[in-house]
Amino acid sequence: MVVEIILAGLLLIVAVVWFAKRSKSDKNPLAGSEQTSSPENLAVTSLLDATMTGMREGLLVVNRDMRVVASNPAARKLFNPSVATLQSQRLTELTRNPAIYSAFLDGLKGIERSGVKVETHGPERQIFDLRVVPIGSTNGNGAEGALGVFFDITRTERLEIVRQEFLSNVSHELRTPLTAIIAFVETLENGAIEDQESCQRFLSIIRKNASRMHILIDDILELTAIEGGNVRLRAVPVDLHMLVQDVCASLAAKASAQNVTLKNNVEPEAMVYADERRLEQMLTNLIDNGIKFNREHGTVTISYESDTRDKIMVQDNGDGIPSQHLERLFERFYRVDRARSRDMGGTGLGLAIVKHLALLHRGEVTVTSELGKGSTFTIHLPKAP
């Protein structure tokens, strides 16, 4: 946020210089006497013009009557993309937002305003940090005009919300096993330690919850590393049949404990182009889910198809996922049935990890599901270059 504030300040200085130059060369209504432009002056003015035209921040100058006397394309896009120019329009015609109006009003009174948060409510909600400075001579009657810079902070604000949600989710997820651990330690301290049978049972619950916290922290670190761009892929041709075979072998005990059969339907000659370790991680997460959310004597089938992209399908014949959940399924901590996921030792981060790894491969992961019939998760990967 500090960087944005410094940037906004710098932009404001550039904008004021631009306006001052423009006023002189354009006989702007706010300008004083006309001056002859030297070649140097013209060069600086066109450089500033180009900067103002190219910048993402909206720039708006109003005169004492609150009419627009200068604006850049970003401001036009923000207020009224359908018109060629905002020139001469009243500020009240452009916006009904009282925060914008009062900031410009203060500017005209000679008061500088900054940090005014402005939100647009169109189809694409945007959030701006507005700074307004008075311009022209500020005598007892206030300023001759006011210049506002609309600094787009939509992305920063969104990231902040995501960060807060993430932190609150993490705290919540850690609190549950931690509470269980503390409760059982206290029970042991209060005498249960003397009873051999309860002692063993409570210790195993403590271990289970501690390992849940461990897995959760590992998943969080993994996801943070992938999202932070700290994971580098080494894509190579991968023997998919063999890889699926290995993943199935590592999950065989879990599958048989749940009476689920794993079927590798990938032909022996199938090759894909991927980072082998990361593909293994994706397949492990998807097949593991196929086992966890399956029914007794269910099956998880892994198959491969190739058209414009390579497609690896992990299909189960479990209960399926209600359609209203599908869109959000790959979000961090999103679960259809929180209690069931927890019982299964899930962290709610597995699919988010798969999604980000697929994106890192310049591919994607998709899901289709039918209630009562099962779900199919498909990893789409670009073909070898």
- Would you tell me which residues interact with ligand ADP (CB under 6 A)? 285, 289-290, 293, 316, 318, 321, 329, 334-337, 341, 346-352, 375
Least distance in angstroms from the C-beta of 118 to ligand ADP: 37
Closest CB to ligand ADP among residues 64, 325: 325
Least distance in angstroms from the C-beta of 275 to ligand ADP: 20
Closest CB to ligand ADP among residues 181, 287: 287
- In the three-class reduction of DSSP (H, G, I as helix; E, B as strand; rest coil), residue 293 is classed as coil
Least distance in angstroms from the C-beta of 379 to ligand ADP: 13
By beta carbon distance, the residue nearest ligand ADP is 346
| Amino acid code (one letter) for 129 | D
Query: Which is nearest to 346 in space by CA: 329, 366, 323?
Result: 329
Instruction: Fill in the DSSP letter of residue 193.
Output: G
Closest CB to ligand ADP among residues 58, 346: 346
Least distance in angstroms from the C-beta of 292 to ligand ADP: 6
Least distance in angstroms from the C-beta of 295 to ligand ADP: 10
Whether 151 and 11 have beta carbons less than 8 Å apart is answered as yes
Closest CB to ligand ADP among residues 107, 318: 318
Report how far residue 289's alpha carbon sits from residue 341's, in angstroms, rounded to the nearest whole number: 10
Report how far residue 318's alpha carbon sits from residue 294's, in angstroms, rounded to the nearest whole number: 4
Closest CB to ligand ADP among residues 77, 340: 340
Report how far residue 306's alpha carbon sits from residue 326's, in angstroms, rounded to the nearest whole number: 24
For 113-182, give the DSSP string. EEEEEEEE-SSS-EEEEEEEEEES--BTTB-SEEEEEEEE-HHHHHHHHHHHHHHHHHHHHHHHHHHHHH
Least distance in angstroms from the C-beta of 66 to ligand ADP: 53
Closest CB to ligand ADP among residues 30, 282: 282
